[in-house]
Structure 1
Amino acid sequence: MRKKILTVSAMAAVAALAFSGCSSTEEPASGGGGDGVKIDAPDLPIQEKLGDYEGEVNIVAWAGYVEDAWTEKFTADTGCVVNRRVAGTSDEMVQLVRTGDYDLLSASGDASLRLIAGGDVQPLNLDLIPNFGDDIAEGIKQQTYDWINGKTYGIPLGRGANILQYDSSVVTETPTSWDITWETDSPYAGKVIAYDAPIYIADAALYLMAHEPDLGIKNPYALDEDQLAAAIDLLKKQNGIVSEYWSDASAQITSFTGGTSVVGTSWEVLRKFTEDDKFKGVVPEEGATGWADAWMMAAKSKNPNCAYAWMDYASSPEVDGAIAMNFGMAPANTAFCDLNDEAKAHCDDYHAKDEAYFKNVWFWTTPVETCLDGRTDVTCTNFQQWTDAWLTVKG
């Protein structure tokens, strides 16, 4: 068993990320182009140049993303004191940013489009963030969570796939399909763990994309009413074989280590926390959903120059890599992987440079009425409709 390189604070981080995530378009996880997705959003100005640092920056972040180990040097270099508030859910993060008291947030995919459409975050000038350059993984750039109407709204800081985890002492053959978690005749019925959040509807939609093509689903986050109904129907059937639903990371780990569950949705960091080689993880042939959080800047930021300085500092290989190791994810800045042997091992573990691994990963994104698959003849369902529908799944 290789040495575990995750810090203790990462456990708090994974618990916080239980409500986070990000996005994709019709080409999952590939680099964007053109103007990206077009949605109705306020036309906010882009800051053209940096001014004097204001002396502080106020950040809403997931646990583990803003720590003293790297904020102290930032303050010494810039004079910008970092004031951090940890958020427990994306809804809380959205509410806090709308108060006008915060400059930055580590936005997740179930919040990003809400913030952009609401005019709560501003488009960014990449010329003011030089560390977000050629070493940033191509598959994390210009995705639906940060590339809207031809403008960049977010600076991704890391990514991960929602893998199919399994106990190899029970599931003795490597799974190639998610079918063992969805079909009611699964040999592991009653031992299947599932994610407890409305965004999990996308996992059902992804499975239907491959197994019921007549539904016409092209993007698991772009569902019309009929497609959403089909996904909910599948989820209700799955409910009969589910051992438990998880949103708390420690509970998910306990479910596997205690034998309550032997197969189901997970993250690489959770699988590694088990410290047991019998727990394996794969991205099956249908692909997977995933997440890629991004720094976003509040439209009402009172400290925009310190905010830009933080985004640049946090995008450096050393700091972005430190965040990735602290949490347990692939860093956005792949130059980190070449810093030392420990960094290389982390990047190998989390597939940081493996674009083939992420090619079929659909990063979490906020469902909106504008169909993200490009359809214009129907209205797609939004996040509130997904939230309402999810409430019917578990009965």
Structure 2
Amino acid sequence: MRKNALPALAALGLTTVVLAALTGCGTAGSSGGGGTGPVDKLGKNEGAVKILAWPGYVEDGSNDPKVDWVSEFTKSTGCKVEAKTFGTSDEALNLMKTGDYDVVSASGDASLRLIASGDVVEVNTKLLKNYDGIFPFLKDRAWNTVDGKHYGVPHGYGANLLMYNTEAFPTAPTSWDVVFDKASDHRGKITAYDSPIYIADAAVYLMAHKPELKITNPYALDQKQFDAAVSLLKEQRPNISEYWGDYLKEVQSFQSGDSVAGTTWQVIQNTLEGEGGKTAVVLPDEGATGWSDTWMISSKAKNPNCAYAWLDYISSPKANAQATAFFGEAPSSEKACDFRDDCASYHAGDAEYAKKIWYWTTPIAKCLDGRTDVKCIDYAGWTTAWQQIRN
């Protein structure tokens, strides 16, 4: 499972000038590099592919003989998989710069920076037969598409939900106010995600409760809006039992009673429910932040044909179902639920539910909400502020 998924990152200041300097991978029949724009045709598979991924995304049976979707890929394509896992987006960014990997699974806090730095290339989705089967609401989004150019294939997605102890809250809460404005009602028993990106959770709350701030995108905050979100989190701080990055720590915290409310993932609720935990989850009225990961191809890919083969295979219904079910998230393939019996709990394919999710996106100085008369606080600023909030 993902651990410490979004640590304090020394974010790059992205600009459209940098985005214009994206590097292409040439033709897929070459060894990568040297061209601009997406490939227009595929060549012969090279026989191998090196994949950089979140834990649980590339399983070949070596960890558990029953968990294996890689062997079928190798059998059907001839591409032997060499996989390396990473624990943070920061680690993934640094590893991709080495040019040693063909493919990476990138979360929204990393994908834009990979695009801007030229470490990944535009993907010709017409060469992927399974792309059409991906839920439309995951395509053409800010974290995987720039100026109409696709830089990857959606993998899975999920919301950062509100978890609560059903004894402490006999009536299900409907608002994030239980961890913000009303957090003192359970002082010392509120938990929050340990990452600068959590500032966006505060911004989502303020969008609904402080309309005078005129926040329209929780990842596009000017100085006044940003200061308001930071202030809210500083007010929350005395009520926090712990900040979690490892999902197992939150499981333990709710089991022990040290925490009674806080941000969570559906997989954590599933784990607690399976162990008899007295917890439940809800997507509050204000909406929530969340994630939608993307498979991307390196601009230095030595095996671009096998890289395309992997993107196509992992977005096929059965493989996508296996990988996302094992990780604990909704699939991106519309037909993946034919191979899963738990899609309902993840609201897979529910476009209205998905509209309530603000997927992780890297904050940049050029405001993502389209404003040009002000500058927004970039991720470096978020990182500095988060350190002050935490300490």
TM-score w.r.t. the length of structure 1 is 0.89
Q: What's the counterpart of residue 85 of structure 1?
A: 84
Change (3 A) 1:295 1:16: farther
Q: What's the counterpart of residue 96 of structure 1?
A: 95
Q: Residues of 2 paired with 1:227 and 1:137: CA distance?
A: 33
Q: What's the counterpart of residue 285 of structure 1?
A: 285
Q: What's the counterpart of residue 382 of structure 1?
A: 378
Task: Report how many aligned residue pairs link the two structures.
Answer: 362
Counterpart AA for 1:375: R
Q: Residues of 1 paired with 2:5 and 2:248: CA distance?
A: 12
Change (3 A) 1:17 1:291: same
Kept in 2: contact 1:60–1:93 (CA 8 A):
yes
Kept in 2: contact 1:39–1:148 (CA 8 A):
no
Change (3 A) 1:39 1:187: farther
Q: Residues of 1 paired with 2:83 and 2:4: CA distance?
A: 15
How far 1:39 sits from its partner (Å)?
7.1
Identity of aligned residues (%): 48
How far 1:17 sits from its partner (Å)?
4.1
Match of 1:358 among 354, 359, 363: 354
Match of 1:48 among 31, 35, 40: 40
Correspondence 1:126-275 to 2 at 5 A? 126-133=125-132, 135-183=133-181, 186-274=184-272, 275=274
Secondary structure of 1:106's partner?
strand
Q: Residues of 2 paired with 1:39 and 1:289: CA distance?
A: 28
How far 1:40 sits from its partner (Å)?
4.1
Counterpart AA for 1:66: V
Q: 1:133-175 deviations in whole A, cap 9, x for unaligned?
A: 1x31122111111111110012111100000000111111111
Match of 2:54 among 41, 47, 62: 62
Q: 1:38-88 deviations in whole A, cap 9, x for unaligned?
A: 774124321111011111111110000001111111111211111100001
How far 1:196 sits from its partner (Å)?
0.6
Secondary structure of 1:15's partner?
coil
Kept in 1: contact 2:93–2:110 (CA 8 A):
yes
How far 1:278 sits from its partner (Å)?
2.5
How far 1:110 sits from its partner (Å)?
1.2
How far 1:292 sits from its partner (Å)?
0.8
Q: What's the counterpart of residue 303 of structure 1?
A: 303
Q: Residues of 1 paired with 2:183 and 2:198: CA distance?
A: 21
Kept in 2: contact 1:145–1:154 (CA 8 A):
no
How far 1:279 sits from its partner (Å)?
1.0
Counterpart AA for 2:104: L
Secondary structure of 2:296's partner?
strand
Secondary structure of 1:348's partner?
helix
How far 1:353 sits from its partner (Å)?
2.0
Kept in 1: contact 2:255–2:277 (CA 8 A):
no
Q: 1:1-32 deviations in whole A, cap 9, x for unaligned?
A: xxxxxxxxxxxx13364659xxxxxxxxxxxx
Q: What's the counterpart of residue 113 of structure 2?
A: 114
Kept in 2: contact 1:39–1:370 (CA 8 A):
no
Q: Residues of 2 paired with 1:71 and 1:65: CA distance?
A: 10
Correspondence 1:318-337 to 2 at 5 A? 318-337=318-337
Counterpart AA for 1:267: W
Counterpart AA for 1:15: K
Q: Residues of 2 paired with 1:17 and 1:49: CA distance?
A: 35
Q: What's the counterpart of residue 312 of structure 2?
A: 312
Kept in 2: contact 1:121–1:297 (CA 8 A):
yes
Secondary structure of 2:192's partner?
strand
Secondary structure of 2:108's partner?
coil
Secondary structure of 1:240's partner?
helix
Change (3 A) 1:197 1:204: same
Q: Residues of 2 paired with 1:223 and 1:17: CA distance?
A: 22
Kept in 2: contact 1:164–1:265 (CA 8 A):
yes
Secondary structure of 1:393's partner?
helix
Secondary structure of 1:292's partner?
strand
Counterpart AA for 1:323: A
Change (3 A) 1:270 1:39: farther
Q: What's the counterpart of residue 12 of structure 2?
A: none
Of stretches 255-264 and 70-79 in structure 1, the one that deviates more from structure 2 is 70-79
Secondary structure of 1:371's partner?
coil
Counterpart AA for 1:86: T
Change (3 A) 1:353 1:388: same
Q: Residues of 1 paired with 2:7 and 2:73: CA distance?
A: 28
Q: Residues of 1 paired with 2:377 and 2:44: CA distance?
A: 44
Change (3 A) 1:16 1:202: closer
Q: What's the counterpart of residue 27 of structure 2?
A: none
Q: 1:255-284 deviations in whole A, cap 9, x for unaligned?
A: 001100010000000111112363110111
Q: What's the counterpart of residue 30 of structure 2?
A: none
Kept in 2: contact 1:330–1:347 (CA 8 A):
yes
Secondary structure of 1:309's partner?
helix
How far 1:193 sits from its partner (Å)?
0.5
Secondary structure of 1:159's partner?
strand
Q: Residues of 2 paired with 1:336 and 1:115: CA distance?
A: 28
Secondary structure of 2:131's partner?
coil
Counterpart AA for 2:346: Y
Q: Which runs of 5+ in 1 are unaligned?
A: 1-12, 21-36
Change (3 A) 1:268 1:19: farther
